[in-house]
Structure 1
């Protein structure tokens, strides 16, 4: 007879939850009134809404257009996870004042092991109320606002989070006794522990609560659903064994340069920033980090502030940082006071350089054959950029769109290219051309003419079909015979603004060249050429 190994005592977790943190952080950052109807979006879908917006029927999961129909005065902003994380940082520091080794689950949720606070404060309930009172005092004193806070203590992170979500404003603190996780979780739906596909299958089997799911034999659940099912079954049984990783407080890498008295001389500002940029890069190297995104803030006299985030495709060095500071100063300059005059229309009080995105240096080591342009190319293009300005040297990328000129994205050299989401590559774009794009895309579509054999202009009917056979393609400087053609491919974009439809055709000529042309029914243009 064999005996199962003894089960270790579950980890008691003290968890803090701030309901609606995304909305609260955005409201504090943007200075939006507490009673305003505010909604945060991700890809035109509502992901969070304020109480005023919820009262108007705006809920998570609505399309943006539906939400604006229900609440015409709705303030809509994109969700910014990085900003929410920065806004939560002071809250984490306040927690660390009374409880060490804080584990940040995500912005708005933090957890610690309850063992230490329980001993210090004389019990888990006492520790939870001490944390609650400390944070409430901080919010009222420093943030000058009231924050909805919930605190829970339970076995494991999973149970503690759902216990916090089951609290109310009247009773914001709850303690699930040791060993009581399974009983507490039994009434929750299976979707709280299972993914969407597993949850749907369990509901079809008549299993709708975690208590019912926990009664199933674990070995059979493992055999049917694999590792995901085994993990979900352990959660349903209250056997969560989380690993709480105490966050490592990063070194403050922010470089701040003060000017006393304030100055408007560009070269003086750059000279003062050079040692700070050198220290900034040295600290990154000493910490084995690389910075791919920085925030440059320029404080103007008396109280103006201009901030901009700069991204780099590889990593920032001292030269790259100083270039971004100079380019930001160029943006401040007016037409009458240019950068060549070495004077700005405003006096600068402070320049602040802070890292926005850092990563381990090991993740950015070059491969055997390299992964960036040759150093001589970089020096040549950077030199041109110094002469022509930040936007004088551009690189290109492919974006989303229906027309070819919409898909071309030009970006300043040295800046990181937009992400696929920013380029909207994941969107379907009905009407866009499939297959390989033309090798040559004209900066401005060429006006051309398409004629029949007798010289009559070829037109298109309402269905997009040609009314006559195309024979001649008349270019601005040439005339070619059309040997074959294909189409139409209609483009009916923004039909609610302009009902006109544009049709695409492909034409091949007797000079072994192919053309992508568009027409509105009468006029023809060449978008590109297949070389």
Structure 2
């Protein structure tokens, strides 16, 4: 993956609101959503207004502040002229949100001779469009976005060193690159004493994976400056493009919005029919006089029909508004053709389809339902399991986000001495449930240094219930990850059957027994 430049326009929602209301740049203004400030202008900030404070508090700190409601369409419409100016330098940038885009630096750095010269050219292009911006350059998208807030160029290979000194809250600073619950993760890490991204990166990946969820694993990889997992977008299946011609041409924003909804519904009908969802969408429009307009929209989560229609409306609104304002970059004569092209999709091939068997139409409906859940909750919200190599039952299971290539770290076909023989337990408690293993006199049973039980197991005490053991086998001792001083441990496993016929896999670690698996 080549070098990336992020172009960030500070306080963009507030600047878009100023422009929409025709106010001067020195006007104190705050954008509010849910009764809290989400953005404000520099004059308002100078008088104490901050993001996150309540509307009433903002008005008390700055009595003259103008309050406006959050409006994503207004932000996108105001951002369109800026994008047109940047297209002259580097076309086809990926829009993370209005006010922030990223693009590959390779071509423009070669053209201008160096990375600083390319960044300066982008800043000048934004200035010609009437706005100030900051740029950041790095190897990874998140690092480039955070570097843009400081106007920094991170040397090649130094992403982890740069991120190490940043506060842990910066992992959730950009919503377009994080899951909705990333802020909760950051607050939890802060309460645990992890204050910087470097502190988080220093944690063992194994411990992060066992304690937190998938988004925490993604954040940990980014904190370490590692490449993200391979892109979820596979080569787009043919025939997914949607193109419509319009006669008479579209020359009003409301007509463009109606057309956008119809195209979005048709596109997602095609996507759902083959069980995929779009994560990067190219919207192309052609005007009657031949001018064309194109944008590529990137989304951290799969696009829904509603979010697709919103992006089409924002883009066409901005283009038509430039025409209405008498600017040469707007379409003349209206829009005669609209085209939607999925650039990147996630496919349902990563699902464990055996759950439903070869069920024909029912299988297809199930696949569509899973894709819909993923589109609603995010790319990492739906996990597909797969079998990999390992000795313990839990180590033999790995999960990947639905639609991704299954990431098999350990080949299942390799020899695994000491592995539990089949059949595997039907249920793995998460985490393993602590129990007590007792002999006939009620004394605790342990495993000696020679791997022998100190007494014959007779009673299994689980969650306040004592069950009589009628059969048992083992123990089998295994030194797990002995090469790692932190993760290494000596475990002993024991199979027991209790009355009236429940089978358990017990594991002893540091002389503490726990249920690792249950057979039905």
Scaled to the shorter chain, the TM-score interval is 0.3 to 0.5
- State the structure with more CA Rg: 1
Q: Which protein has greater RCO, CA pairs closer than 8 Å, 6+ apart?
A: 2
TM-score, structure 1 normalization = 0.43
TM-score, structure 2 normalization = 0.44
